[in-house]
Amino acid sequence: MGIVSIIIAYFLGNISAAIILSKLLKGEDVRTKGSGNAGATNMLRNYGKGMAAATLIIDVLKGVIAVMIGAKFGMAYPCALAVVVGHMYPAVFGFRGGKGIATGLGVLLAINPKLALCCLAVAVILFVTTKYISLGSICAAIAMPIFSLFMEPGFTIYALILCILTCYKHRENIKRLRNGTESKVGQHSTESNQDAVHPDKAPDNKEA
């Protein structure tokens, strides 16, 4: 059942709230809008606070549920990794998912709330001081394995893998941050909706 729980966690991650809600309620795929990312930030910029909040809540909850399922079979950590990977690379949506921040938060809340709060604090502090959601997310991801080493040692290797994956999914944001072209909250995205060749819009299996 341990392997089965990991598979369940992966496909739970495939339940992309951003993609499903945008298709059901707007008749379009959020991945064709703005940054092309299937996440709460892109939902906020394109569809407003309500859909963004719904996306955030669903993505966090699936992280929590996946860890709870895994915990029943002693596979909490592997399931934590699996659900985030499932969110980032969903098989049912052509392996083109989100960047894993909300689902990662859900995972941390289920594994160790103190660890989650510390990482969230890093994200919030960076966001409040810079208005860059991406910078806060990236720094929180980098802080995660460091905090985990002291708060949840057994999770550290998984946290490191998640950190690497998160930074990789944010590679275009990192480039824009370095170039000074990253959008702050309240600004329109610098990425055009016509940017069909954006790396995060291309099938992720081509990135490997």
User: What tokens does 198 get?
Assistant: 């954006």
CB 120 within 8 A of CB 114: no
Reading the chain (208 residues) residue by residue, the pLDDT tens digits are 789 999 999 999 999 999 999 999 999 999 999 888 999 989 998 999 999 999 999 999 999 999 999 999 999 999 999 999 999 999 999 999 999 999 999 999 999 999 999 999 999 999 999 999 999 999 999 999 999 999 999 999 999 999 999 999 999 999 999 999 888 876 654 444 434 334 444 444 333 2
CA distance 118 to 199: 31
The helix (run of H) or strand (run of E) holding residue 159 is helix 156-169
This prediction has a pTM of: 0.86
CA distance 82 to 104: 11
Query: Would you state the pLDDT for residue 187?
Result: 61
Interacting residues of 61 by C-beta distance below 8 A, sequence separation 6+:
106
Interacting residues of 187 by C-beta distance below 8 A, sequence separation 6+:
none
Query: Would you state the pLDDT for residue 186?
Result: 63
- Domain assignments of the chain as residue spans, ordered by start: 2-181
Query: Would you state the pLDDT for residue 35?
Result: 83
CA distance 98 to 21: 14
CA distance 204 to 73: 30
User: Residue 144, SS3?
Assistant: helix
Query: Would you state the pLDDT for residue 183?
Result: 82
The helix (run of H) or strand (run of E) holding residue 190 is none
Query: Would you state the pLDDT for residue 73?
Result: 95
Query: Would you state the pLDDT for residue 71?
Result: 96
Dihedral sign (CA 190, 191, 194, 195): positive
Query: Would you state the pLDDT for residue 175?
Result: 95
By CB atoms closer than 10 A (0-12, 13-18, 19+), residue 194 is exposed
CA distance 41 to 53: 10
For every residue of 120-179, which 3-state class applies, written as one string?
HHHHHHHHHHHCCHHHHHHHHHHHHHHHHHHHCHHHHHHHHHHHHHHHHHCHHHHHHHHH
By CB atoms closer than 10 A (0-12, 13-18, 19+), residue 131 is middle
Dihedral sign (CA 31, 33, 37, 42): negative
